Amino acid sequence: MLVYMAPCGIGLGHAARTLAIAKELVKRGHEVVFSTYGEAVEYLRKEGFKVLKAPQVEYKQRDDGTIDLKLTLSRGPSILYRFMRQVGAEIYYTGQYKPDIVVSDTRLSAVMASAFRLIPRILIINQLLIVIPKLKPPRRQFVMKVKGMFERLSLEILSRLWNLSDLIMIPDFPPPLTISKNNLLIKDEYADKSIFIGPLIPTRPEELPPREELRRKLGVEDRPLIFVALSGTLYEKLNICGLLIDFFRKHRGNYYVIMSQGLPGVHEFYEVDGFIKVYSWIRNRYEVLKAADLLICHGGHTTIAEAMYYGVPMIVIPTTGHTERMGNAKSAEELGIARIVPQEKLTYKTLKEALEDVLSNPEYRSKAMKVRELASQFHAQAMAAGIIEKLAMGAM
């Protein structure tokens, strides 16, 4: 069986979770080919998979990594043109490779192309609700009305197009652990074809050596380990990396910091002041995560899911205007396993307060371990692979 996987190429979260399924499918004797763009291309190629490069679609950002909605919308014709080129590329690739099934991760172009080719298709998505970010308080009431109308229109259009999928797999925990609950709105027309499978991660904690052994390997037995795992676009990652290095140099607490800039294909490393190690990319990131006492992240769905599987409390710094990440962060905070420091409120004082709170309060670790016990019951990639096999064979 040939499985055609088309993850979104913005950031690495979508590519990482489809990679987890791909590895499971290969174990079962199937062939997998990817179609994507951006950073995900190099990331997946390094994992040994064939990757077809699709035209890139992206939103515009300011220098600090925040979303520039005005600039993005002003380039609407250009974005539409790129999207249609992407649809055309998917129609061409699926015609060339003739896959048994198409698995799209948040890529409408792949869903539309496979519908055109009459190929069985699965959509992986954890954000069915589109919310326009509000960066500044509106001066007039009609602005909010227009915003609401636009959101409802976008939701209605996307709902109809997402519904072209034969099945929708939601890579999240069912309630009450759902990470993306603030961005999920499962409408009646596709409720029967939607299923929670649990978050997809490539490596589970039980597959690694004991935590104490990993801490000895990293040389951090006697002090807290803070793991900074950055995700998102290049602008987001580099901006927050610089801010956090400056913070840790000033704070100089009794801890050890390992930072991943999330730049696949780059092999750079440097050490700052003897206790901060900065890597462009960490291949053994799950070993570091299992050894960590605290995770600092942007609030990407996959990263938060990983922390929940591994029982690690978090400080989440959502990018300004990124409604999905803020929603994810709020879910983690409500579970008692995270503190939120929004990027627009990120100062030395706010980060220091959050850092000291999470590290000194044992409740965060205790609740994170309870969440880990519940999360360990989900084996998402095995479940996803089984569903893909059944739909490809016409058994669903």
User: In this predicted model, what pLDDT tens digit does every residue of 283-293 receive, in sequence order?
Assistant: 899 999 999 99
Residue 341 and residue 315: Cα distance in Å, rounded? Answer: 7
Query: Are 199 and 307 members of one domain?
Result: no
Strands 167-170 and 194-196: parallel
Q: Check residues 103 and 300 and name the one with the higher pLDDT.
A: 103
Query: Are 363 and 218 members of one domain?
Result: yes
Interval 334-354: pLDDT, tens: 999 999 999 889 999 999 999
Query: Are 193 and 234 members of one domain?
Result: no
Query: Are 323 and 371 members of one domain?
Result: yes
**Which of these, 336, 281, 282, 291, lies nearest to 314 by C-alpha position?**
336
Listed in sequence order, the residues at least 6 apart from 377 whose beta carbon sits closer than 8 Å to its beta carbon are none
DSSP string, 332-367: HHHTTSEEE--GGG--HHHHHHHHHHHHH-HHHHHH
Strands 225-229 and 294-297: parallel
The count of residues in the chain is: 396
In this prediction, residue 67 has a pLDDT band, given cuts at 50, 70 and 90, of very low
User: Which two structure tokens, joined as six digits, stand for 1?
Assistant: 């069986």
Neighbours of 202 (CB within 10 A): 19
Stretch 315-324: mean pLDDT, rounded?
A: 85
**C-alpha separations of 76 from 26, 266, 274 in Å:** 39, 32, 48
Query: Are 195 and 310 members of one domain?
Result: no
Radius of gyration of the chain (CA): 21
Query: Which amino acid does the sequence have at 249?
Result: R
CATH number of the domain that residue 198 is part of: 3.40.50.2000
How many domains is the chain built from? 2
With 60 as the cut, is the pLDDT of residue 313 above it?
yes
Strands 269-272 and 276-279: antiparallel
CA atoms within 13 A on the CB side of 2: 13
Give me the pLDDT at residue 66, please.
43
Residue 35 and residue 53: Cα distance in Å, rounded? Answer: 6
Query: Are 332 and 385 members of one domain?
Result: no
Residue 60 and residue 58: Cα distance in Å, rounded? Answer: 7
**Which of these, 228, 232, 199, lies nearest to 305 by C-alpha position?**
199
Interval 93-110: pLDDT, tens: 999 999 999 999 999 999
Query: Are 273 and 182 members of one domain?
Result: no
What does the DSSP 8-state code read for residue 297?
E
Question: Helix or strand or coil: residue 107?
Answer: coil
Residue 260 sits at the vertex; the CA angle it makes with 276 and 5, to the nearest 5 degrees, is 170
In this prediction, residue 128 has a pLDDT band, given cuts at 50, 70 and 90, of low
Query: Are 331 and 357 members of one domain?
Result: yes
Query: Are 62 and 129 members of one domain?
Result: yes
Residue 202 and residue 293: Cα distance in Å, rounded? Answer: 21
Query: Are 196 and 222 members of one domain?
Result: no
Query: Are 249 and 196 members of one domain?
Result: no
Domain boundaries, position 169: 2-203+378-392
With 80 as the cut, is the pLDDT of residue 142 above it?
no
Query: Are 138 and 224 members of one domain?
Result: no
With 70 as the cut, is the pLDDT of residue 365 above it?
yes
Give me the pLDDT at residue 267, please.
79
Q: Tell me if 184 sits within 8 A of 129, measured CB to CB.
A: yes
Give me the pLDDT at residue 156, please.
53
Give the pTM.
0.79
H-type alpha helices, 39-107: 39-46, 69-74, 76-97
* φ and ψ at residue 82, rounded to 5 degrees: -65, -40
In this prediction, residue 190 has a pLDDT band, given cuts at 50, 70 and 90, of low
- Look over the chain and give the mean of its residue pLDDT values, rounded to a whole number: 86
Give me the pLDDT at residue 321, please.
73
Interval 151-172: pLDDT, tens: 454 445 566 778 899 999 999 9
What does the DSSP 8-state code read for residue 321?
T
In this prediction, residue 58 has a pLDDT band, given cuts at 50, 70 and 90, of low
